[in-house]
Structure 1
Amino acid sequence: MSESSVRVQESTVHVQEPTGPESSTAPGTVATHCPYCALQCGMLLSRDGAGRVSVQARDFPTNQGGLCQKGWTSADLLTSPDRLTTPLVRRAKGGELEPATWDEALERVVRGIRDIQRRAGRDAVAVFGGGGLTNEKAYLLGKFARVALGTAAIDYNGRFCMSSAAAAGLRAFGLDRGMPFPLTDVAAADTILLAGGNPAETMPPFARYLNEQRRAGGDLVVVDPRRTPTAAQATLHLRPVPGTDLALANGLLHIVVSTGLLDETYVARRTNGFDEVRRAVAAYWPERVERITGVPVADQYRAARLLGAARHAVILTGRGAEQHSKGTDTASAFINLALALGLPGTPGSGYACLTGQGNGQGGREHGQKADQLPGYRRIDDPAARRHVARVWGVDPDALPGAGPSAYELLDALGTPGGPQGLLVLGSNPVVSAPNARHVERRLRALELLVVADPLLSETAALADVVLPSAQWAEEDGTMTNLEGRVLRRRRLQPPPPGVRTDLATLSELARRLGHPTGFPADPATVFTELRRASSGGAADYSGITYDRIDRQNGVFWPAPAGEDTPEGGAAAAPGSEARARNDVTGTPRVFLDAFAHPDGRARFVVVEHRPAAEEPDSEHPLLLTTGRIMQHYQSGAQTRRVPALAEAAPRPFVEVHPDLARRLGISAGELVRVVSRRGSAEAEARLTSAVRPDTVFMPFHWGGAGRANSLVGDALDPVSRMPEFKVGAVRLERI
């Protein structure tokens, strides 16, 4: 990783909070966090007397004074010429979006909602949220859907990110906190196995921990079909055929068992179900695994021995292992390997999944996921429904049940019996959803599409009503990073004239829909209610206050209310004393004493390799895998509008192995067409041996003709309902 990608900058700038109306345009500095990935790097935002905003890194525990290129340029978004500063309304079907007053826009939304629900029922209006929303917005959005709209049809784009790892964690540990220990444990590990992650590009300051680990003599094993910048740093790079990570994990466990690396004491004392898994992985002998995955037998043994010989080892998984139609089982296979080695709940060791979106962890904990209520409560649990209904002041029976998952919701839009109206906050599914051409058609079929966004994204461009939203530096709130650390995002300045915060928009929509109370626009008030709603749940935030976050560089959940919190609160969730040791910063390390199942034991789960939902054939002979690059983030709706980032990565591309390019007569820089069974995308060919000769790679940050997700299939994991983003069959054509 180059020095230009992460720079360290010492800062002693005095931090001042806005204290009144006069501070809205006054110079000042606030300590806040980057608006992009789940690392949530600490930064200082400063506004000078001319209104210019600058960024400085600060020495926060996660980024240690470093920022990536996206972080350094993040303030450019605040003054982007593409900012929306007035609502837009399409006054005639098929007409153009035109400027409108807030009153006209909101009345159009409310009128459309009432008309649709009167004719087709409550669930005919749906809500689609995002993993970048603050905890306060995610919470109020879930409440808005279930109380103001009374709909079960709500899900969010985090379903496309963390759902497989979350499902695997729940069934193994009884609790889903993506990283159940602080990042510092990664740097101290003797051996790290990273499967399907490329933090050197996706969250560059995280790579500091890998560099520190290597400098201390540690070993890094990377599992990835591509030779990514992260893999280039590895002690050992395993390059499986895309879609075969599960077989590789089972094969590594086979070697651990057969070579005496199993931690038998840990397995007997802290787990259940190992005998069944032992019998299952007996069929994954190294030579068979090599035939399935392409990973040489010698490399399998070396990886297993590096893990087994380590005093402290950490296994990490990312989207490359999880975004499959068998993603939950693949994550379970790596968890089985970690349990067999005695890692989870052992100080200095463990298993974790790397959360991608800025609030991917908190976004799913507080109610915008189809099957969950705040506090990570199941919506079909009667006790959970009673608790949340009491906080909300409604009848538990009035709360809807679980709705469809994200892709299933999008797939049903505009169909008979499906939702006819949709409200989108913090997401751009026209670019980010699988089978994106089909999703775009479904969005166009709606009677009412409402999008709240700071920018005219590809999804907003299809809307009937667009509501301009405040950006990250223009509102307060909390985020929960990949460690489960709850952080403060602070407002530096107010939104531009004509722009409202999402909380204010939801509050006003609720009022117009007949709910004059219960939907405050003030984030601190919303967070206080969130604390009450989460109290006693798995993700218990009841002991977290804004002041406590400020004093302690964030607070790790679970953090039940107690003496340290002035407002008091309910007791900790049953069993939490056994599963975590709470301290002044909450619970940095869970599972030290016990896991979150009633018996305190972790669960091994038998999982078997199976082919991808779509395999190559004579018409589509190549494998496609997708991912991110350093300069852009998610659908690119933000980063493509930052001049420095757009200049560094201006257009979509496809990585092609030189041998494949020679066979097809493709030259470097040539525009090629990538064709799948669903459609095609056009991109510049980049010739590189970083990809396998049977595989091509496309980043997914662009819409239009270069939209990678036009190629991706919609096969879903049966447990998590995660689409299969990471493997599909394609062919290349010269244009």
Structure 2
Amino acid sequence: MTELLLKYFRTKQREVQSEKIYDTQCPFCSMQCKKQVIEQSVVTRKKYRVLGKENPASHGRLCIKGMNAHQHAMHPDRLQYPLLKVNGKFEQIPWDKAMRIMKEKFQSIQAMHGFNALSVYGGGSLTNETAYLLGKFARVALKTKYIDYNGRFCMSSAAAAANHAFGMDRGMTNGLNDIPLAKCIILAGTNIAECQPTLLPYFEKAKENGSFIIVIDPRETATAKMADLHLKPRPGTDSALANGILQVLLAEKEIDLSFIMERTNGFAELKDFVETIKLEDIEELTGVPSSQIRKAAILFGKAATGMVFTARGVEQHTDGYQTVRNFINILLVTGKIGKAGCGYGAITGQGNGQGGREHGLKADQLPGYRSIENTEHRRQLARVWNIDESDLPGKGVSAYEMMEKISQGEIRGMLLMGSNPIVSNPNAEFVKNALEKLDFLVAADLFISETAELADLILPVSSYLENEGTMTNLEGRVIHRPCAMPSQGSVKHDWQILCEISRLLGKEEYFSFSGPEEIFNELREASRGGIADYYGIDYKRLKNGDGVLWPCPDSDHPGTERLFDDSFAHEDKKAVMIPVPSRAEAEKETPNRKYPLYLTTGRVVSHYLTGVQTRKSASLAARNVESFAEIHPETAKRYGIGNKSLIKIESKRGSIVVRSHLTDAIRKDTVFVPFHWAETQNVNLLVSDQLDPVCRMPGFKITAVNISRLE
């Protein structure tokens, strides 16, 4: 009897103490922090704790989102079986039926309306393997030109600007370790403390080393509180502010003339333009005192080393491309690039926003950051894919413009993978109405998002804990993410879904992959010799190391820590400067008597993108259960609005209802609303459908609105 009791207690003790460790990385921002999810079984319950894991980007740090990301992956609302909409309600169906329906619908739509009647819409959190395969699926299996992704709303301004200025775009021209070496840093429109909290210590280290930090933002964010100088421009006037800085740099001769002459083009035209600028005009336009503009310029010009970082605050405008070009102008005239502690960084927002645009998710791009309009690039990829170059479709349109094509009846079907466009797109009511017109919408997702609710067919996909692959972080470091846990229910990996439907469409020879490593090996070959060259990177190297920064042309190459040491990527090896007008964005959404205030948007630390995942985390949702509007107390008083009261915000496109949050950390002429909520709190219902003419970025950051107390 005693032995039986001892055996029983030993068994129970093992149950209590059993522990499983899952190595993975956070699925959210572009830092891609490594971590461990530790599962502890306590009798019949499972408890989880999370530890940061050492890695070159975040060195074991985790933010509140990373600490709780496992909660959404294990949420009971996770989709586990395909769902078909029947008479307005979703019914569970087997995979073979789901695939058969997809095949029949895709084929019938294209038979009636042509190849381009189908479209593909991807997401910036997909792995490199899925991003690559989704681009190939659109162009080879469906033969459609219509593919784009939600990264269009994240990085397109900065990507276009870097490509045109430098000849290539890698987000950051330097590795993260260069940040503490910069003696002056400009953070333009980036709230790192809330959007990428584990990145902030690099800037804190720079301050410890004596760096002077300049923050440009109409709000006093958590990042701005770290600044030595905070410039608060009127929304939409960032390019004008950059012109003011350039005017002082040239007038005070705080420029590197030898660098300009040897390594750049376009300075003469820029100089002629800047010399016509009057600093008092810039002050009037931006609302930033000329003394502050002068101080920022002289400090940056005189600093031995310096870096400029931009993010959505200056990029999500209809002149976002030109604004980023102007901040790059500041770097080029001072010669602060291609050296330790000197360079440009576009702070990538989404987990794999960088890799997605490198390998074919954008309408105009092919793997390796090649152009779909370049004949030699097309031939190169056709050889890799074993197709005729003439069978490769041409350039499509941007993400929002696909919605216009749907509304016009040109696009009749869509495969949506890892995105929620009726919340993330501008002019959101139009987008919803357009998607409802589709003959067939299939959504692959973890949950029934607001957009998936409109789908005819929903396919359940694996979470970040279950899906192996690679991601490319904000500095261009390619990182391997292991499969930590088995998938739930009959969930499939997104790459499996693409391979299976391709087989049914008769394209099996192009999609006969048995795992992500095989896909990555083809990606390597497809990128070989391109701007984003991954050829020298393989899974063995990634699993045994800390990731590799591209370009990496062969297996002996260490990866490229810093770009442009000796030359830029244009044919003549020089960077290009251009003059940028000061008033382009400011004139498009000017407040008036009916809509007298500026509205700008952004993030909060506890949520990510449209909130589909973070709202499924109890710990994160509890921190921000609803949306809100930041309003200056004097402005609120003028409108009879109290703190924490419900208010209506209205633009000429629609209205939303949110709760007021009075704070003197924002300009009196500006209202801020985060974009993580849907339905009546979806701030993108208010945003214009006007797009940047170069990169097709919407103007999320400036909308003319009115506010009123909700009776």
TM over 0.5, shorter chain: yes
Which residue is equivalent to 1:548? 541
Aligned pairs for 1:281-360 within 5 A: 281-360=274-353
Q: Answer yes or no: is 1:608 the counterpart of 2:581.
A: yes
Q: Does residue 170 in structure 1 map to residue 163 in structure 2?
A: yes
**Is the counterpart of residue 46 in structure 1 residue 21 in structure 2?**
no
- The aligned amino acid for 1:101 is P
Q: 2: distance between equivalents of 1:52 and 1:402?
A: 49
Q: Which residue of 1 aligns with 2:14?
A: none
Report 1:193-342 matches (<5 A): 193-342=186-335
Deviations 1:302-339 (A, max 9, x none): 10111112111111111100110000000000000110
In the aligned structure 2, how far is the partner of 1:208 from the partner of 1:556?
Answer: 21
Which residue matches 2:701? 726
Match of 1:413, SS state, is helix
Which of 99, 106, 111 aligns to 1:113? It is 106
* Cα 1:161/1:181, change in 2 over 3 Å: same
1:374 CA displacement: 0.5
Matches within 5 A, 1:572-583: 583=557
Matched, 1:149 2:124: no
Once the two structures are superposed, residues 661-702 of structure 1 have per-residue CA deviations (whole angstroms, 9 ceiling, x without a partner) of 101110101100100111011100000011111110000000
CA distance in 1, matches of 2:254, 2:687: 39
Aligned position for 1:363: 356
C-alpha distance in 2 between matches for 1:200 and 1:721: 28
String of CA shifts for 1:389-434, please: whole Å, max 9, x gaps.
Answer: 1111111100100001111011221423x10101101110111111
Q: What secondary structure is seen at the aligned counterpart in 2 of 1:675?
A: strand
Corresponding residue number in structure 2 for 1:652: 627
Contact 2:22–2:485, Cα closer than 8 Å, also in 1: no
The residue that corresponds to 1:423 in the other structure is 415
**What letter corresponds to residue 429 of structure 1 in structure 2?**
P
Output the amino acid matched with 1:489: R
Residue 401 of structure 2 aligns to a residue in which SS?
A: helix
C-alpha deviation, 1:99, in angstroms = 1.4
Distance change in 2, residues 1:448/1:318 (3 Å): same
TM-score, normalisation: structure 1: 0.92
Q: Which residue type is aligned with residue 274 of structure 1?
A: F
Cα pair 1:315 1:350 within 8 Å, conserved: yes
Q: Secondary structure at the match of 2:509?
A: coil
2:454 corresponds, among 449, 453, 462, to 462
Would you say the 8 A contact 1:247–1:284 is kept in 2? no
Map of 1:138 onto structure 2: 131
| Structure 1 SS opposite 2:308 | strand
Shift of 1:100: 1.3
- Distance in 2 between the 1:91 and 1:457 partners? 18
**Residue 605 (structure 1) shift:** 1.3
Q: Say yes or no: does 1:590 pair with 2:582.
A: no
The one-letter amino acid of 2:493's match is T
Deviations 1:496-551 (A, max 9, x none): 02111001111111011111232225100000000010001000000001121233
Structure 2 distance, partners of 1:235, 1:87, is 53
Matched, 1:673 2:648: yes
In 2, Cα distance between equivalents of 1:29 and 1:218: 40
Is the CA contact 1:131–1:360 (under 8 Å) kept in the aligned structure 2? yes
Conserved 8 A contact 2:181-2:340: no
Distance 2:206 2:341 in 1: 13
Matches for 1:521-532 after TM superposition, within 5 Å = 521-532=514-525
Corresponding residue to 1:87 among 67, 82, 89: 82
Unpaired segments ≥5 residues, structure 2:
1-17
Indicate if the aligned counterparts of 1:32 and 1:488 stay in contact, CA closer than 8 A: no
Code of the aligned partner of 2:79: L
Shift of 1:32: 2.8
Contact 2:601 2:700 in 1 (8 A): yes
Task: Give the corresponding residue for 2:4.
Answer: none
Q: What is the distance in 2 between the residues matched to 1:321 and 1:543?
A: 35
Q: Which amino acid aligns with 2:262?
A: R
Verify: 1:440 aligned to 2:432, yes or no.
yes
Q: Deviations over 1:347-404 (max 9, x none)?
A: 2211121111100110101011100110000011111111111111111100100001
Choose from 619, 624, 638 the match for 1:663.
638
Which residue of 1 is the match for residue 502 of structure 2? Answer: 510
Paired with 2:33 and 2:238, the residues of 1 have a C-alpha distance of 30
Match of 1:572 in 2: none
Checking the alignment, whether the CA contact within 8 Å between 1:414 and 1:447 is kept in structure 2 is no
Contact 1:34 1:43 in 2 (8 A): yes
Q: TM-score, normalised by structure 2?
A: 0.95
What residue in structure 2 maps to residue 619 of structure 1? 594
1:124 aligns with 2:117: yes
CA distance in 2, matches of 1:78, 1:291: 50
The alignment's C-alpha RMSD in Å is 1.3
Partner of 1:449: 441
Contact 2:185 2:308 in 1 (8 A): yes
- Identify the residue that residue 375 of structure 1 maps to in structure 2: 368
AA in 2 matched with 1:632? H
1:684 is paired with a residue whose SS is: strand
Q: By how many angstroms is 1:213 displaced?
A: 1.3
Deviation at 1:612, TM superposition (A): 4.2
Instruction: Give yes or no for the alignment of 1:55 onto 2:50.
Output: yes
Aligned 8 A contact 1:54 1:75 in 2: no
Question: 2:360 aligned with 1:385, yes or no?
Answer: no
Quick one: distance in 2 between partners of 1:48 and 1:397?
56
> What is the deviation of 1:31?
3.5
> Match for residue 475 of structure 1?
467
Q: Please tell me the residue identity of whatever aligns with 1:604.
A: M
For 1:83 and 1:284, locate their aligned partners in 2 and report how far apart those are by CA, in whole Å: 56
CA 1:107/1:52 → structure 2, altered by over 3 Å: closer, same or farther?
A: farther
Amino acid corresponding to residue 79 of structure 1 in structure 2: M
**Is 1:629 the counterpart of 2:608 in the alignment?**
no
> Which amino acid in 2 is paired with 1:608?
P
Q: Is the 8 A contact 1:450 1:465 kept in 2?
A: yes
Unmatched 5+ residue regions in structure 1?
Answer: 1-25, 565-582
Separation (CA, whole Å) in 2 of partners of 1:549 and 1:99: 39
Q: Which residue of the partner structure matches residue 5 of structure 1? A: none
* Identity across matched positions, percent: 46
Distance 2:349 2:647 in 1: 30
Q: Match for 1:313: what amino acid?
A: G
Cα displacement (A) at 1:104? 1.7
